[in-house]
Amino acid sequence: MGLAARQTEFMIEPFRVLQRLDGSADAIYIAADPENVLWGRLPTGSDRAVHKVAPGAEVLIDTISHEGVLEDQGRDPVAFFAGFGVPADEVLTDAVAVAAGSAHAFGQDGPHVITGPIAVLGAQPGDLLAVRVLELTPRAAYGVISNRHGRGALPGEMPAGADPVFTFCRAGHGPQGPTGTIDTDEGAITFPLRFFLGIMGVAPADEGHHSSVPPGRYGGNLDVSMITAGATLYLPVQVPEALAYIGDPHFAQGDGEVALTAFEAPLRARLRFDLITREERAYSDRPYAETDEYLIPIGLDEDLGAAMRDCVRGGLELLERRYRIERSVAYAYLSAATDFAVSQVVDVVQGVHAKIRKADLAALSSWPR
């Protein structure tokens, strides 16, 4: 049974395949072509920008997933996905081009294919880059969850054998909205989708090689599932013109991402890059996010307990600087009213994020950022 037929069997209409655009009339467009991507590493301040934009610009950016293009999958996405019943014309041509023509040191570089960097004119260290996620659109009707390399939350225990395990997922429009499906011998597992970019960042300040795997104060592989369409990620600018980038697209992820990856699949992102100057900002040097409902401080450290403490300190800073709440009161409020979640435990540097309800603070005056 073909992919489309199986989707119909479970009342799911497959997403339409979005191949590379020839152009876009309503926005700057950056394709995920080999010349516009970095594979497995983050940009540095000396890297060539693939595009330069003014603050406030909207940019349409294609991303591709690393799943299906990596060396342990044959570095041939057409052949790899054919094994799951995906016809060749439903495989993204930019993924094929990157797999065939981009340099990648498997086992040394990270796995992720990153689109960028994008220079934001006028951005300087000390400023904040506000990356506003306006829209995220799936580019395919399928993706992969992987457990490999002795990593994940249970290294040495999962996968049970020596070989990596690749779990194929289907995706489309279901009766309750965007839906993912995993087929099993006993039937189908279905779950809601929530699109987000696992990697959003700016170039680190130093010129050394940075793998795409661990996140840092520059952002990068944060894997915070709340940064969906409508959210804004605030990134402390590290180098002139920021040199922003995105990648690691997800269709869905549970907080923790315990298997190593979540539902990895390609997205088309419409973003706006706004600049908050040093004089305008009220926050320090941690990345944080915001939605209509929440402020989201992000804590990072190789030790999960230390990441939790870093997140608490980030929450205190947000409340002190943005709302001028006395520190002991802010600490009490976080304990009484704020949920903390493990973003991920699989990327060397582990992450914790908090959900501070903005409605709780509506009676207080605040800085704008």
Question: What pLDDT score does 8 carry?
Answer: 45
Question: 331 lies in a domain?
Answer: yes
Global pTM? 0.94
Higher-scoring residue by pLDDT: 355, 277? 355
Q: Is the pLDDT of residue 365 over 70?
A: yes
Weakest-pLDDT range from 32-36, 100-104, 166-170, 342-346: 100-104
For residue 31, the domain's CATH number is 2.60.120.580
Based on the domain organization, do 75 and 127 belong to the same domain?
yes
- Work out the burial of residue 339: count CB atoms within 10 Å of its CB; fewer than 13 is exposed, 13-18 middle, 19 or more buried: exposed
Question: 339 lies in a domain?
Answer: yes
- Reference 90, options 178, 205, 172; nearest CA is 172
Based on the domain organization, do 269 and 330 belong to the same domain?
no
Question: What pLDDT score does 9 carry?
Answer: 54
Based on the domain organization, do 214 and 345 belong to the same domain?
no
Mean pLDDT of 56-65: 97
Based on the domain organization, do 292 and 270 belong to the same domain?
no
Based on the domain organization, do 313 and 254 belong to the same domain?
no
State the residue range of the domain holding 342: 288-361
Residues in contact with 186: Cβ distance below 8 Å, sequence separation at least 6, in sequence order? none
**Per-residue pLDDT reduced to its tens digit, 263-272:** 999 999 999 9
Q: Is the pLDDT of residue 84 over 70?
A: yes
Structure tokens given for 296 = 């989201």
Give residue 129's pLDDT band: very low, low, confident or very high (50, 70, 90): very high
Give residue 284's pLDDT band: very low, low, confident or very high (50, 70, 90): low
- What sign does the dihedral 198-199-201-206 (CA atoms) show? positive
Q: What are phi and psi of 358, to 5 degrees?
A: -70, -30
Q: Is the pLDDT of residue 27 over 90?
A: no
Question: What pLDDT score does 145 carry?
Answer: 98
Q: What are phi and psi of 176, to 5 degrees?
A: -105, 10
Question: 366 lies in a domain?
Answer: no
Domain end residue (candidates: 276, 303, 332) = 276
Based on the domain organization, do 121 and 203 belong to the same domain?
yes
Rounded distance between C-alpha atoms, residue 283 and residue 308, angstroms: 19
Based on the domain organization, do 268 and 297 belong to the same domain?
no
Domain end residue (candidates: 247, 276, 305) = 276
Q: Is the pLDDT of residue 2 over 70?
A: no
- Percent share of the chain, pLDDT over 70: 95
Residues in contact with 288: Cβ distance below 8 Å, sequence separation at least 6, in sequence order? 233, 234, 295, 296, 297, 298, 314, 318
Task: Give the number of domains in the chain.
Answer: 2
Question: What pLDDT score does 278 carry?
Answer: 84
Q: What are phi and psi of 313, to 5 degrees?
A: -60, -40
Domain end residue (candidates: 248, 276, 304) = 276
For residue 356, the domain's CATH number is 3.10.28.20
Structure tokens given for 260 = 């190593």
Based on the domain organization, do 192 and 322 belong to the same domain?
no
Q: Is the pLDDT of residue 293 over 90?
A: yes
Based on the domain organization, do 303 and 226 belong to the same domain?
no
**Per-residue pLDDT reduced to its tens digit, 181-236:** 999 999 999 999 999 999 999 999 988 889 999 999 999 999 999 999 999 999 99
- Percent share of the chain, pLDDT over 90: 85
Based on the domain organization, do 189 and 51 belong to the same domain?
yes
